[in-house]
Amino acid sequence: MSFTEPAGRAGTSDYRSPDNKAETWLSHAAAIDSEVAQYFLVSARCGCFMQAARSLNVRSTLLRKQLAQLEQQLQHSLFSFQGSALSLTREGQQLQARLITLAHERKLPVIEQPLIRLAVAESILHDILGRDLIALLRRNASVRLEIIALDGELSLRAVSADIVLWLAHGSTPHPGPTFATREPQRLACLDYLPHIAKRYSRVTARPETPDDLADFMLVQWQHDRQIDSFRPWNELVEQRLAGVVQMQSYELMLEMIRCSACIGLLPAYMSRFDRGLIALPGLFAEPMQLQAWLAVNAESEGLPGVQVLTELIHHTFAERREWFQP
């Protein structure tokens, strides 16, 4: 698309056609730094500086600064806002077409992101880590991440990952990953208690002994049946001849407790995660606990993406340390 400025007088020495004017400044396109050219093309494709920055894994302030310098270098405005929508000016469209043509002649760099595999206990993924992972992905749309939910010892032993975050009973990280890792780190000790939704439990009618649970439906996540430290709860559920539901899905078990007046075994921090749930302490004499452990694959610990995720996990648990107090 050419400029639509009026032509000069025929025969004058400074006359140039609109197409020639465009060609004059577009001739500088080949000299544009390849990284800046990529910033421009991605921004043009996304129609949003924020999304372009996420896709390129750079700060939006840096992206806009580079594009502003590009406009100053070319002495043309490349972007315009129509309401809240970002679009290219005529000059921006011309530059986009020229850079796409040049891209066939010189391959613009594409920064390949290594695939990072994160294996994490399903309950931790849902309750503790999920929100921070979403925030990370919101900032960085170019990451290649595979998230594997662990729902038991068998899945833990079968998994191969760069980072593993799992739950184990006792004071050691065993059973843990079967591949070579750096020394596992204990992140937290999690206490477990029966929980019920507040709206289904008046204070004067809340159960105080295991016998009081006879008037309530119990819900059990199937994964918990494998855990030795949950023996008091598991024995109670197994003795039930009626009024018990067993679930394969952790999220659906939570919904049963929230919405169906069921009582289920959950981490003691759950009332902080969901204010509509309340713990029922004192029902069992024996404590029911699990330890949260973190291990990093020895072969991939040096990858920047692995280090970023490891730091995020440590930060998340440190930020929520009050959740894990007895």
CA distances 157 to 119, 123, 176, 310, Å, are 11, 18, 7, 21
pLDDT score recorded for residue 306: 94
The DSSP code for 260 is: S
In a domain, 176, yes or no: yes
pLDDT score recorded for residue 153: 82
pLDDT score recorded for residue 104: 66
Q: Is 254 exposed, middle or buried (0-12, 13-18, 19+ CB in 10 A)?
A: buried
Torsion from C-alpha of 308, 311, 312, 314, nearest 10 degrees: 160
pLDDT score recorded for residue 280: 94
pLDDT score recorded for residue 69: 92
pLDDT score recorded for residue 223: 92
In terms of domains, do 54 and 184 share one? no
In terms of domains, do 45 and 126 share one? no
In terms of domains, do 119 and 101 share one? no
Domain count for the chain, please give it: 2
Among 190, 196, 217, which residue's Cα sits nearest to residue 276? 196
In terms of domains, do 206 and 142 share one? yes
Q: Is 163 exposed, middle or buried (0-12, 13-18, 19+ CB in 10 A)?
A: buried
In terms of domains, do 95 and 120 share one? no
In terms of domains, do 99 and 128 share one? no
In terms of domains, do 142 and 291 share one? yes
Q: What is the span of the domain harbouring residue 30?
A: 18-105
In a domain, 3, yes or no: no
Structure tokens at 141: 């749309």
What SS3 class is residue 179? coil
pLDDT score recorded for residue 175: 86
In a domain, 169, yes or no: yes
Domain CATH code at residue 125: 3.40.190.290
In terms of domains, do 146 and 292 share one? yes
In a domain, 11, yes or no: no
Distance CA 164, CA 310 (A): 10
In a domain, 253, yes or no: yes
The kind and range of the H/E element at 220 are strand 217-221
In a domain, 90, yes or no: yes
Final residue before a domain boundary, out of 81, 105, 129: 105
Q: Is 109 exposed, middle or buried (0-12, 13-18, 19+ CB in 10 A)?
A: exposed
Q: What percent of the chain has pLDDT over 70?
A: 90
Q: State the average pLDDT for the chain.
A: 86
Final residue before a domain boundary, out of 105, 131, 154: 105
pLDDT score recorded for residue 167: 95
pLDDT score recorded for residue 2: 33
In terms of domains, do 144 and 55 share one? no
pLDDT score recorded for residue 207: 87
In terms of domains, do 95 and 123 share one? no
Final residue before a domain boundary, out of 70, 105, 140: 105
Domain CATH code at residue 33: 1.10.10.10
Torsion from C-alpha of 140, 145, 151, 154, nearest 10 degrees: -160
In a domain, 126, yes or no: yes
| Cβ-contact 173, 293 below 8 angstroms | yes
Distance CA 169, CA 128 (A): 19
Look at phi and psi of residue 47 and say left if phi exceeds 0, alpha if psi is from -120 to 50, else beta.
left
In terms of domains, do 162 and 64 share one? no
Strand 244-247 with 217-221, pairing: parallel
Among 64, 37, 43, which residue's Cα sits nearest to residue 55? 43
In terms of domains, do 31 and 136 share one? no
Distance CA 156, CA 318 (A): 24
In a domain, 237, yes or no: yes
Tens of pLDDT, residues 179-232? 899 999 999 999 999 999 998 877 667 888 888 898 899 999 999 998 999 999
Place of tokens 């692995």: 306
Write down the H helix ranges in the chain. 18-26, 34-46, 49-56, 60-74, 90-105, 122-124, 130-139, 153-158, 231-238, 250-259, 270-273, 304-319
Which regions in the chain score pLDDT beneath 50? Answer: 1-17
